[in-house]
Amino acid sequence: MPQPPIDDEALEKLVRAGDIARRTLEYGRSLIKPGATAREVCEEVEDYIRGQGGSPAFPCNLSVDHVAAHYTPGISDDVKLTPTSVVKLDIGVSVDGYIADTALTVDLSGRHQDLLDASREALEAVIERLRPGISLYEIGKTVESRIRRRGFKVVRNLTGHTIARHMIHAGLSIPNYPDRTVFYKRLQPGTQAAIEPFATNGRGMVVEGGVTNIYAYTGRRPRRGLNEEEKRLLDTIIDRFLTLPFTPRWLVDVMEPSRLEQTVKSLVAKGVLHDYPILVEAGKGLVSQHEHTIVVLKDRVLVTTCKGCQG
């Protein structure tokens, strides 16, 4: 797919978002300790992003053990880290709608270094091969072979994704295995994307599990059928987040918590918001993840969330 070229102003903002994300991820890593709650880590991380002039492009995800993705603390529910937690910290930064998406895994037990190495080495191997026009098939093949070499499986139904302004998922999934259905698809100049290998000692698949705390506006506003409270909340959501993912924790200034949670749920039921279910490993395996954001230019590939990485 040909993409419009990325102009200097867009590139500058993508680089700035990447720098903020990289610094925030390292800061977040330092907060991941036994006894800490997901809320403490995530609120600090989200504030750190704002303090550097960015805004969170989606709620801080802190997914533990067999939870692979999409956990963020709720207003009332929360997770406490233990001395054996395997913790994925996944963050997004927006600078004027230009997005960086990056993740790492921390093993508090010290017993799963090989699982962490598997997803990290897979990401590094892809970065080494990056060039304008690289095929999605080659990316997937590289990821799977590196993760297998360590004796683990990839999580087949979690993928990287293209990114566009104000859009965390711009339509193309980047597989973590050699997927023949994308054999002819390539990352052309002008494309932004997140590469995110997931490794597991479980079944290699995620299923939906548990209550979600992450939502996004679908972009469809019904002309009627919303009460005053629903309208007021939706206006605030559109004003603050557009169609980017958000969490009720970011709306507690608008209405009191139980009312807020109820109104969010009714907006989901009316098709105005969609929810992101928590994704758990189907065999209750442990999961590790590493992620960087890339920008494909005419003559090279920039890794915006990694200093010194270049494709």
Taking the least distance from each CB to Mn ion, the nearer of 142 and 263 is 142
Q: Which residue is catalytic, options 40, 44, 114, 169?
A: 169
CB of 253 to Mn ion, least distance (A): 26
- Tokens representing 237 are 């959501």
Q: Is 90 a catalytic residue?
A: yes
Q: Of 151, 161, 93, nearest to 121 (Cα)?
A: 151
- Tokens representing 80 are 């406490």
Q: Which residue is catalytic, options 107, 144, 291, 292?
A: 291
Q: Which residue is catalytic, options 19, 46, 90, 179?
A: 90
CB of 5 to Mn ion, least distance (A): 24
Q: Is 8 a catalytic residue?
A: no
Which residues of the chain form contacts with Mn ion (CB under 5 A)?
90, 101, 103, 194, 291
Q: Is 291 a catalytic residue?
A: yes
Q: Which residue is catalytic, options 66, 161, 290, 292?
A: 161
Secondary structure of residue 63 in the 3-state scheme: strand
Structural element, H or E, at residue 287: strand 287-289
- Tokens representing 254 are 């608008």
CB of 168 to Mn ion, least distance (A): 7
Q: Of 281, 308, 33, nearest to 155 (Cα)?
A: 281
Taking the least distance from each CB to Mn ion, the nearer of 174 and 255 is 174
Taking the least distance from each CB to Mn ion, the nearer of 103 and 273 is 103
Q: Is 169 a catalytic residue?
A: yes
Chain mean position to CA 32? 18
CB of 68 to Mn ion, least distance (A): 11
Please name the residue ranges forming H helices in the chain. 8-31, 38-51, 113-129, 136-149, 228-241, 257-269
Active site residues: 90, 101, 161, 169, 196, 291
